[in-house]
Amino acid sequence: MSAKHTPEKVETGFSSGDASTGESWKLTLPCTAQEARILEEDIGLLAELDPLPVLMTSEPDPARPEQWQLDAYFENKPDDVTIALITALIPSAAGVTPKIEKVEQADWVTLSQAGLEPVRAGRFFVHTSTNADNIPVNAKPFLIEAGLAFGTGQHETTTGCLMMLDRLKREGNLYRDLIDVGTGTGLLAFAAMHLWPRAFATASDIDPISIDVTRENAEINDIPLGTREGRLALVVAEGMQHRTIQRRAPYDLIIANILAGPLIEMAPSIAAVLEEGGTLILAGLLDSQAHRVATAYRRQGLRLAGRIDRGEWPTLMLRKRRRFG
């Protein structure tokens, strides 16, 4: 992560400040790395605000990886109710008075995307439209704009998953039935389909907005949608019990970049749809949570077979043991 005040995530809300007042407002609170990660998944009751604020989480000082910062941008000065909604999202900041200041009118979504550096992970190059002219030779590019869904490639968990997928391909692994659980923007599903273009692919998410974003990103990146070989099926689903997910099982590759708690809770259902000898990629967990997550899957007959660490965010690769006799 950069030592600069680089945005890790943007929740789209408005585009150019309040046209009538010519001003915008910023609210700043300290947060933890885990709280920043959770915000990328769920903005709670803020989703009901109209217009949505723009949220950006960042790591101001790499020497202090647990001390992050939340900046929320508004068209107008936030009222007491809005301030309370923001502070409720950051339990570690209880008792801290938010810093609220007037800022120059600006297109915060555009500015935030300009601050998002492109990501090179193995053969993949993930970028926004501001970097579309700087694609390296021999790289597979994906255009993923910052927006309402998590998974632009900027976060270490997404980057780690891309690197793990690249490693699996280089090692000669072949997959024919894959699923990206909690797909967010669709990026990891797109990357897996590029590596194994003849696979039956599925992308699921509990959030319908994420599936809408994935559908849009698929069109932008020329990813064919559908249920046939070489196409991506999209499913709005909570967990693995959805009829379509069950019907397309078993999977020989499952990618789940979520959070430690849900990963542990879903261990039995994820393991149940992974075929024997199949590969599972897990991310969205902190280094301090890796043992508990790996243990939950070990109890389901999986073994830890690989790991990539990006700062305090590990990506785990597990294999389901084959049964004999």
205 is in an annotated binding site: yes
Query: In this structure, are 109 and 152 located in the same domain?
Result: no
DSSP code string of 20-59: TT-EEEEEEEEE-HHHHHHHHH--GGGGGSSSPPEEEEE-
User: What is the model's pLDDT at position 116?
Assistant: 58
As given in the structure block, the two tokens for residue 194 are 């590029």
Does 251 reside within a domain?
A: yes
Looking at residue 292, which CATH number applies to its domain? 3.40.50.150
Range of the domain at 294: 148-320
Q: What is the pLDDT of residue 325?
A: 39
- 289 and 174 both lie in a single domain: yes
Does 103 share its domain with 168? no
Mean predicted lDDT score pLDDT of the chain: 83
Domain count for the chain: 2
Residues 103 and 244 in one domain: no
The domain that contains 100 carries what CATH number? 3.30.70
Could you tell me if 195 and 287 lie in one domain?
Answer: yes
Last residue of a domain, one of 114, 139, 157: 114
Q: Are residues 159 and 217 in the same domain?
A: yes
- Where the chain has pLDDT below 70, the residues are 1-23, 40-42, 44, 47, 50, 62, 104-116, 146-155, 324-325
pTM of the model: 0.71
- Do residues 106 and 157 share a domain? no
pLDDT at position 133, please? 78
Evaluate whether residue 224 is within a structural domain: yes
Asked whether residue 156 is domain-assigned, the answer is: yes
Q: Is residue 121 part of a domain?
A: no
Q: How far apart are CA 133 and CA 112, in angstroms?
A: 18
* The two structure tokens encoding residue 131: 């970097």
Q: Which of 289, 179, 276, 210 is nearest to 41 (CA)?
A: 210
Do 83 and 203 reside in the same domain of the chain? no
> CB-side exposure of 97: number of CA atoms within 13 Å?
2
Residue-level pLDDT at 237:
94
SS3 content of the chain, % helix, strand, coil (to 5): 30, 30, 40
Distance of CA 153 to the CA centre of its chain: 7
Q: Which of 99, 114, 129 is the last residue of a domain?
A: 114
